């Protein structure tokens, strides 16, 4: 699992996109998602997966034209490239005279209790012991063995001849 992303990290990356020259306005949205899935069979863990993703979405306004680009490269360079792509898209987009404009800059308020030090310090060793996980390797071996028995050079005509002989 990646280290927690702090406010300063977010600000540093976002500023790389916000510093875009040639745009009337730039909006940056950070999305950090994570989640897991555990499947059970016969009262034991059959499959356990974890997914974590960080992404940036950059919206650019230029002469009443909008462009949006996204990236999962959470770096200053990744944010700058996404902003440049959004500007390029805005320049070829159809103007939207009804677009009310981007929201004005504002400070995000601190939310007490939104970060839990104990949870952040949890390490993988504290996760469920995976020695009981059924990874399906016996099943996978059977599938591989069956696949090896298949005649790779067979053609549909060969199958028809075998059916005719039977």
55-67 pLDDT, tens per residue?
999 999 999 999 9
Per the model's pLDDT, the better-predicted residue between 28 and 161 turns out to be: 28
For residue 126, pLDDT beyond 90? no
Q: Is residue 38 part of a domain?
A: yes
Of residues 34, 31, 30, 33, the one with CA closest to residue 11: 30
Distance (Å) of CA 37 to CA 5, 11, 90, 138: 23, 31, 39, 22
Instruction: Domain count for the chain, please give it.
Output: 1
The model's confidence at residue 155, banded by pLDDT at 50, 70 and 90, is: low
pLDDT of residue 163: 55
Q: Is residue 42 part of a domain?
A: yes
Q: Is residue 136 part of a domain?
A: yes
Q: Is residue 1 part of a domain?
A: no
The model's confidence at residue 24, banded by pLDDT at 50, 70 and 90, is: very high
Q: Is residue 2 part of a domain?
A: no
Domain interval for residue 135: 7-165
The conformation of residue 67, written as its DSSP 8-state character, comes to E
Q: Is residue 115 part of a domain?
A: yes
Give the total residue count for the chain: 166
**22-36, 76-90, 116-130: least confident range:** 116-130
pLDDT of residue 119: 75
What mean pLDDT comes out for the span 113-139? 59
């Amino acid at each position: 699992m990646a280290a927690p992303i702090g406010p300063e990290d977010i600000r540093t990356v976002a500023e790389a996109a916000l510093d875009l020259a040639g745009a009337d306005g730039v909006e940056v949205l950070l999305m950090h998602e994570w989640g897991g899935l555990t499947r059970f069979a016969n009262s034991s863990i059959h499959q356990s997966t974890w997914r974590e993703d960080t992404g940036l979405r950059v919206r650019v306004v230029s002469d009443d034209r909008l462009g949006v680009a996204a990236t999962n490269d959470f770096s200053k360079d990744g944010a700058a490239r996404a902003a440049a792509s959004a500007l390029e898209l805005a320049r070829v987009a159809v103007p939207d005279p009804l677009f009310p404009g981007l929201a004005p800059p504002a400070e995000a308020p601190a939310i007490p209790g939104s970060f839990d030090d104990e949870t952040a310090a949890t390490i993988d060793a504290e996760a469920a012991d995976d020695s009981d996980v059924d990874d399906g390797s016996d099943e996978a071996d059977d599938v591989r063995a069956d696949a090896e028995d298949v005649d790779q050079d067979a053609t549909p005509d060969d199958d028809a001849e075998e059916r005719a002989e039977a």
